[in-house]
Chains A and B, each alone.
Chain A
Amino acid sequence: MNKDIIAFWGYPEKELINKTKIEYPNAKWVDLDIDFGAVDLKILPENYCVIIKNIYNNAMNLKDRIIKILAPIGKDKCDSAYFASEILKKSGFKVIQSVFEDVCPDIEKINIPISKSSLPLKEKIELITKNIVEQKDYSYLKSVKPQFGFWGVPPNDLSILELFPRETEVFGWCRAVEAGYPGDFQLESYVDADIPTVFFVQAFCSKSQLAKYLANKYEGLFIDVDGCSNASVRAKIEAFIKLR
């Protein structure tokens, strides 16, 4: 089978993305973080971050088609991704490690039209991740006065985002990605103290520390979900939105 896929996770350095685009102009880009329904090959322990499980399952499922994997391993992703990159190398993949830890010079002056737009939250998050590779200009999107905040990474189960109103502003890693600084701690930690915010993490993710700390500090709602959300998690978000 012809190899036709450039696989990646997180937010590889822009230069690396652009260089790879020129090198492989016809390649299909696949974000290995996303749950495409690949069979769980049980490579990782049961109690492990589902996003890292996605990376392994997607990579193995697409092994015959993957040209190379662009693999963020710095503060812009996590230690688990570093181990994944090394193990995938040993499993026969061509892996290019990336560290994207640029510091944002002024978090008040970032360009984040998607995060502030009136698009449904699920579309906002999908567009932000899609734009890692596409790099389109969305400055034409109109901003909306936020009523709620969503802080975190793109959930494995995107359906929980449908519970939020359009007037939900994006914070956390997703906001940092749109701004082009995925490894900037100050930017990732920033939230608007006046907006009731849901702090979301995947279970077993080290970002839980920060999410819990921020949820306590800003009296937000801390939510951690392993895999798919259950009725309890959805009800908690619904109640938080209704009661705040």
Chain B
Amino acid sequence: MEIYVDAGTTWTKILKVENEEKKYEVIPTSTLKKLDIKPNRATGHSIIKTDNYENEVVALANGARKYLEDDFIVLDLGSRDIKWVKYQNKKFQDMDWNSSCASATGATVEMLLKFYNVNLDDLVFTKEKYAITCGIFGLEKIMDDVSGGMEPKIAISKFIHGIAYNAFAFTKNPEKLCISGGFCENKCFIKCLEQYCKVVPLGRFVLVDGLKSIV
């Protein structure tokens, strides 16, 4: 059996391939070490860099290439960092990777939902957004608004709109943006991003698919 692992800060995505049948799993990264997994290839912030380690942007580019022939930008928005890669005419053209100024955006959303006991599906699109630069600055504004009487789900939605706008700006204002990562399952985020550009969600397993496609 072939095993490909994308060990993110919060969640680990696994692709198992046996007899050409693919099986995808998501497990908490905290449980990864307890499993005796020896991946054929691995990537992600939480994996030890060994010989079979692959750079995250390289995995992202390879995974997204499968979906899109050319002229695309794909953005991976994770718990801890944000990264994107652009291809044009089937050739690599541009990229960026930010682990500081976009820090903890995904993780902050998860924490906020738990803290305010809000379900992901309760989040609604709001035209207003927080001008946020990172999760920490966002928290401060949410807490101020909630203490001023705003419903937590509205405040979190404004925070998510801020993340969506930042994602658009970080990728240099594209007409079309493919999204990889857990935010694909966040309808509020997708709706917010659609205010700025056409959005193509690719799901959470782009990087593990990319790992498999690397020869």
Contact = CB atoms under 8 A, between A and B. Distances in A.
B99 A232 contact: yes
Interface stretch (A74-82, A181-189, A236-244): A236-244
B100 A242 contact: no
A176 to B, nearest CB: 27
B171 to A, nearest CB: 15
A119 interface: no
A140 B95 CA distance: 38
A243 B85 CA distance: 10
A40 interface: no
B59 to A, nearest CB: 9
B76 to A, nearest CB: 12
Interface in A10-35: none
Contacts of B213: none
A209 interface: no
A244 B91 CA distance: 8
A232 B85 contact: no
A161 interface: no
B186 interface: no
B97 A239 contact: yes
B55 interface: yes
A232 B55 contact: no
B81 A240 contact: no
* Residue among A235, A239, A244 having the largest count of chain B Cβ atoms under 10 Å: A239
A39 interface: no
Interface string A208-244: 0000000000010100000000111001101110111
A194 B97 CA distance: 24
Contacts of B61: 239, 243
Interface residues of A, number: 13
Interface string B84-100: 01000000111111111
Interface residues of B, number: 16
Contact of B99 (A219, A230, A243): A230
A149 to B, nearest CB: 15
A230 B98 CA distance: 11
B100 A230 contact: yes
Contacts of A232: 81, 97-100
B30 to A, nearest CB: 20
Contacts of A231: 99
Nearest to B81: A232
Ordered nearest first, which 8 A-B pairs have the shortest CB separation? A239-B57, A232-B99, A243-B92, A236-B97, A239-B55, A238-B55, A242-B58, A232-B97
Interface of A: 219, 221, 230-232, 235-236, 238-240, 242-244
26 contacts: A219-B93, A219-B94, A230-B99, A231-B99, A232-B81, A232-B97, A232-B99, A235-B56, A235-B97, A236-B57, A236-B95, A236-B96, A238-B58, A239-B56, A239-B57, A239-B58, A239-B61, A239-B95, A240-B95, A242-B55, A242-B58, A243-B57, A243-B58, A243-B85, A243-B92, A243-B95
Given A232-B81, A243-B57, 20 more contacts: A219-B94, A221-B95, A230-B99, A230-B100, A235-B56, A235-B97, A236-B95, A236-B96, A236-B97, A238-B55, A238-B58, A239-B55, A239-B56, A239-B58, A239-B61, A239-B95, A239-B97, A240-B95, A242-B55, A244-B92
